Structure 1
Amino acid sequence: MNIKQVLSADDVRRATTRMAHEIIERNQGLDGVTLIGIQTGGVWLARALGDEIARIDHEIPVGSIDASLYRDDIGLRPVSPASVSDIDFDVDGSAIVLVDDVLYTGRTVRAALDALGDYGRPRTVQLAVMIDRGHRELPIRPDYVGKNLPTSADENVSVTSDGVVIS
């Protein structure tokens, strides 16, 4: 198996900083803006974005959502009992930024949108991802992207704060 690092830890940090600035600019400040990381890969990124936004401006609510039970392929993928939703703020009327590590087919984001509906009706929902690898099966596109990374369908992309690797 060939493993190739495409982003270093510094590259991930710089992309996170840029995305945090873009979130602030696009929303014309942070009034009503909240971050929700999609379990499991989006949670660390949502927290990192939240920390960077707090450093730039001020702290905003950060939560997490488990969309596994809302997936249309639930019988094909394992459900992780350790993944739970943690949204301790009001979703109604908020500008929610859903956060995930990798955007691929769009099915996880669709499931997260369905799960989010159980918590209320946000004013807007935006999507932030560290890696957009293409291959969309649903009409979903990110608002904030760390890096566009064209891949083949048989490659695996792993994203952590230590970097991004393709195997």
Structure 2
Amino acid sequence: AGVAGDLPIFVYAGSQGQFPLDAALVKRLREWCPAIAGIKSAGFDPVVANGLLIHHPDLAHFVHEQVLCGLVAMGASGCFSALVGLCPALVMKWHGMIERGEWEEAFAIQRRVNRFYDEGVQPVRRAGYVVDKALSELGGVPGATRKLRAPYAPLPDELREILRTAADRHLPEYREK
């Protein structure tokens, strides 16, 4: 904490984390490191997410895309998007709807995103592959390739096809360049 000084720090608790990042733990962390400015957590546990938002409203809260609309409506700041590598225009449109409070339209996209994650991303994640890299490569991000640095392995063709099929079904905008 002393080394960081006034440097804003974001605490990251990914979906594969081994311990929950709840409001009580964040309070203890902030006692040791007052420079904590925000949290990136999956937000999949609604009780824990609610506690973080209620007890630490002064922090920036970033959650997973699968719970984005609901938790932004409750006070979360947004998300660090893996989906933006697949279809940036859709993500920007979606975030604009959320910012403007166009909830019906935003939740319609949320449901499509959730179906895509369920059908396409979960098999990739369960098999232990890097999701954001796979989405960027499928989305045609300049410089994105199927070759990854060690220790990560490239996505096998059969999982790439599952991901592509789910994207075609639920997020066809990704093909628009």
Instruction: Give the TM-score normalised by the residue count of structure 1.
Output: 0.30
User: Radius of gyration: which is bigger?
Assistant: 2
TM-score by length of 2: 0.29
Flag the structure with more relative contact order, 1 or 2, with Cα contacts below 8 A and sequence separation at least 6.
Answer: 1
Q: Which protein has the bigger strand share? A: 1
Quick check: which one's helix share is greater?
2
